[in-house]
Structure formats: structure tokens, C-alpha cells
Amino acid sequence: MIVVLDLLIHLFALFFAYLIRFDLKADFSLIANEWAILSKSLWFFVLIKVLIFAVFQIHQGLVRLSSTSDFKRIFIAELITSLIFILGSMLRFYKLDGYFLFPNSVLLMEFIFSTAFVISGRFIVKLLYLEYTRDKGKEEAILIFGAGISGQLTKRLIEKDTANLQHVVGFLDDASSLHGKRIEGTRVYAPNLLEKLQAKHQISTLIIAVQNLERSKLKEISEQALELGIQIKRVPEARAWVNGAFNVSSIKKIDINSLLGRPVIQVENPKMEAHFFNKTILVTGAAGSIGSGLAAALIEQKATQLILLDQAESALFELEQRFQQLATHTEITYVIGDIYDSARMQYLFETYRPHMVFHAAAYKHVPLMEANPAEAIRNNIGGTKIIAELSAQFKAEQFIMISTDKAVNPTNVMGASKRIAEMLVTELNEQYHTAYITTRFGNVLGSNGSVIPVFEKQIANGGPLTLTDAEITRFFMTIPEACQLVLEAATMGHGGEIFVFDMGAPVKILDLAKKMIQLSGLKPYTDIDIQITGLRPGEKRYEEVLANAENTMPTYHPQILIANTRPVAAPQRKMIENLLATAAKQDNEASVRIMKQLVPEYISNNSLFEKLDQ
């Protein structure tokens, strides 16, 4: 049927070309004369059109799904048929009866009309198909932020998907030269018109289609949209477009990580890969958020051998399954063990003799450690001591410890235990050739047990979201940022340093909770309630990265600093031994009393141990 229709279109184009040639005025005798010449050529016209269209497979595609590549093939096929007609005309004129197949002016017009009519016909069929197959339900109004290539492709994708009920109202773009213009029929607006557009069109979704948008700008436009009740989505990275994985379902809701409000911390050190080349590296706490992130980063840096240690069997098994999917030359060994088991750790070091140790194993949950001080001391201090001393005994080049901002002016057992561990490794750095390095950072977004996964579960369950205090703030960083800090510390550190990040302004947890509710398309306090439960034992309202008594030195990177801490005095070394012995007896109060002597700035907050400060 399509072949016949195309032939009728071509015959009409030929007839129309003759009418134009004769200025739409032709008497019967002229028509009869022209027909006598044309009738001998018409079979050739039809044959060539059918053959050339068959060669170019013009009729193999579905008309309703015609694309620009189909239109391009039609144009080339029409051009070739016209060239064949010109060649045939020359042969007939000079070799046969002295007549052309068709006048040259007719061939030129026939080419133009045939190409236009065939392509237009397919375009009309495509539009009608899209219109009549589209769900006739109420359409959602969509805005796209970014009128560039990504934005235009996103618009086409949405309009092509007949199953979705979305209509692109317009583009938002910072380029003032585009404001008021139309791109593919869709108007471009200034971002400051978002509120007016929402009032006029009831915008449901704003899609961010700028690949490398500054985080501060992303935060600004997203917060404005969320306040207006507009859902935020973002197109995937460009590589998803290249491999053909980009579709409507891949336009995902923006995640809370994107709304930190500060630039992403980037560390680009060309020496990093060489630093880990041909090295055996031990990672303790490897199944945790930071430990597994470090392991993945070390694989990316082409470390030769990784020893991944954790006492959590199931979590380590899941990590093994994840890494088995990677194509890597890194040899990976998975070890179950407790860092406080000195015999097990001794065997581990004797067997593998690591060149570097990344010590991420620690108990980190503040209320649990407040209730179990002896275990916090045993693991966070005693376990660190065992691993750190074995690193020196087996001549490891570096020992890199993962610490926390809770170690600064601690108000809880967990923070104090990490501060004492920092003091311990700093003191060991003065005794051995192993370089002992500490990294200290704030809360890690999305880590196990952190506030974001908790809020996500509470939202999924319909609320309420619970937080301990309306004024509580925290510093945040992502897992990749944290792992970059640790690897950079290993690369630039010489021993004895405490590396910290300038993480910008702290984030108010109440604001974080509101944004997460809004990102889910819901309204705080209306759809999902937020409840204040009161500070937990040992919890701070505000956390710090650097203590008041500390000062810092700059590094080559403006966001990476080195904290100078006071040296560990000889009496403190004996007190740490005494602390471990006391904790072994499960004497919690006596253990915390020794911790407060070791760390004078440790003042308990909302805790049973406040009485020890009086």
C-alpha cells in the first residue's frame, strides 16, 4: 500500500510539474502533444522510482516511526532518480528519436515536489500517530532547565513517549540571549519567572538538563522549585546518552546529595596512582561505608593487592559479590576477623605483610557507645593500638586512620575514644619509621546508619520524620569525597598529620528533613510530619572539625588543611594502658573517668557521665 501511495505521489508531482511549466494554462492540443511524448517515458519513470526506492529500502521502515535518517535516504533516492532521468533523456535525445524523456525544467520541479510531498506525507502520518496514540488523560506541565542539546533531547524524548502524560511548557535558561525565543516551538524563559510560570501552568516537574551545573546554582533553582511544590528531576550523565540507555525512566528524582550547597570537593593528584602501584594494602572495616568506598577507590587506582578485613560476615560477603562483577587486575582477599583479636591480627600481618594499612574499623553510633563505653574503648582504642603496632612491627610504610569530627571537643564516649586513638597513633609516629596519618571529616551522606537512610525509610513508611533537636547542625560530605581525602592524605602525608576538609557551612538537619520530604513530592507537616524527640545521650547540637586549641597549615589544595594537635605526654601513654585494662574489667564509670583525664576538653552532654564533670 505504501509503495502504491508513493507512486501516486510521484505521478502527481510529475503532473504538477507539467502544470507549473505551462503556467497552469494548457489547451487540449498541447496536452495531447505532450502526452504523446510522455507516454513513452512513463513506464521508465515508474520503474526507476520503484527500483531506486527498493535499493535504498525506503519502504522497509514503519512510516509512523520515520526519523531524520529516513528523510535523508528519501532525499538521496529522489536525487539519484532525477540524475538517472537526466541521463536517460540525453540517451533518448541523441540515440533514439530526438526527444527528451522529460523537459529539464519538469525534472527539476518534479524532484522538488516529489521530495517535499513524500517527506511531508510521512511527517504528517507520524504526527497523527503520536497524537492519536497519546493517552488523553490530563497532562502534567513540565519545565526543562537548560535549553542546550541535553534540554532539547529531553524535550523530544518526553514528547515521543506516547504513554506518559507530560507536556513541556517551556525551557528555563540563564542565557539572556535566548529569553523570549522559541526552540522547536517551545519558549525559553528566564529562571526568575519560575513562580509566574507555576501560577499560570501549574508546573508539576522541573527537569534539570544541564550536565555540569554548579552546585550552588543547582541548590538555588531546586530550593525555589521545592518551595513552590514542584518536583525536581535530573537527566542522567552524558555516557548514558552515548550507549543508548537514556529514556524517560532514566530521568530520576534529584538526590539530597546534590543540594549540599557547596562545590564538590575534587582531588586531582597525578602522583596518586603511582603511590599505590605494586602495593599490598590492608583495609580494616572494609564492609562499612567508608571501608568499601576506599576499597573501590583503591581498585580504581590499580592497587596490586587488597586485603579486606571485617568482622561482619554478611556485609563482607555482599562486598565480595559486588567486586566480583568488576573487571580488575587487583588481587582481592576477603578476611573475617576482629581487630581486637591480637592473635588473629598477628597471623594476618605475618601472612600478607601489607605495605599500607587503611584503618576504617570502628564503632561509631553515639548513643550505643554511650551505653557501652567498655566496648567503644576496646574496639576504637584497643583495636587501633593492635593494628597500629603491628603495622610498625611488620614495617608497613603507612598507617592511615579514619577519624571523625566528633573527636573535636568531644561530648560523648565515641568521640573521646576516637580522639584518644588519634593521640595514640600520633605518639607511635614519633617512635617508628611507619608514617602514621589521620584523616578527620564530618558525617558521610548515605553511610550505614546515617540520617539520610533513616529519613528515607521514615518517608517510605508515611512518617513521621524524627530528629533530636530543631537547631541541630552537621557537616556533611559524600562517600566519594571522604575516600578522596583519605587517598590524598596517604599520598601527601609524611606522618603525624591530621588532615581535615574545609566542608563549608554546616547543614541544619531540620532543613535537610524538609527538603527530603519535598523531594519525595510531599509537603512537610501536611503529608509527612516532623517530630522533635530530644537530644540523645552524648549528642551535640553543633559539631566542629577543628578544636579551638588547634591550628592549621595549608596544603596545595585550598579545601584540605592539616591540623596541628598538642603532643602526647609520657603520662598519657601510661594512662591509655590503664584505660584499656580498666575497660577490660567492664568498669564503665572508671573507664570514662580516665578518658576525661586523657582528654580534658571531653565534657559529657545529656549523659549519665555528666556527674564526672562536676
User: What DSSP element (H or E) covers 317?
Assistant: helix 313-323
Question: Residue 539 in contact with residue 367, Cβ under 8 Å?
Answer: yes
402: β partners: 439
Grid coordinates representing 504 are 563549608
Cell 595549608, residue located: 554
261: which DSSP letter? Answer: S
Q: How far apart are CA 165 and CA 159, in angstroms?
A: 9
Q: What angle do CA 314, 319, 322 make, to 5 degrees?
A: 130
**49, 364, 385, 406: which one is catalytic?**
406
CB atoms closer than 10 angstroms to residue 295: 26
3-state SS track over 425-469: HHHHHCCCCCEEEEEEECEECCCCCCHHHHHHHHHHCCCCEEECC
Chain position carrying cell 571523625:
404
Residue 296 and residue 289: Cα distance in Å, rounded? 11
Q: How many residues does the chain have?
A: 614
The three grid cell numbers given for residue 392, joined into one nine-digit string: 610498625
Three-class secondary structure of residue 438 per DSSP: strand
Contacts of 429 (CB under 8 A, 6+ apart): 435, 436, 495, 496
User: Is 406 tagged catalytic?
Assistant: yes
Cα–Cα nearest to 46, from 74, 75, 4, 109: 4
SS3 560: strand
Taking a C-beta distance cutoff of 8 angstroms, is the pair 297, 487 a contact?
yes
| Residues taking part in catalysis | 406
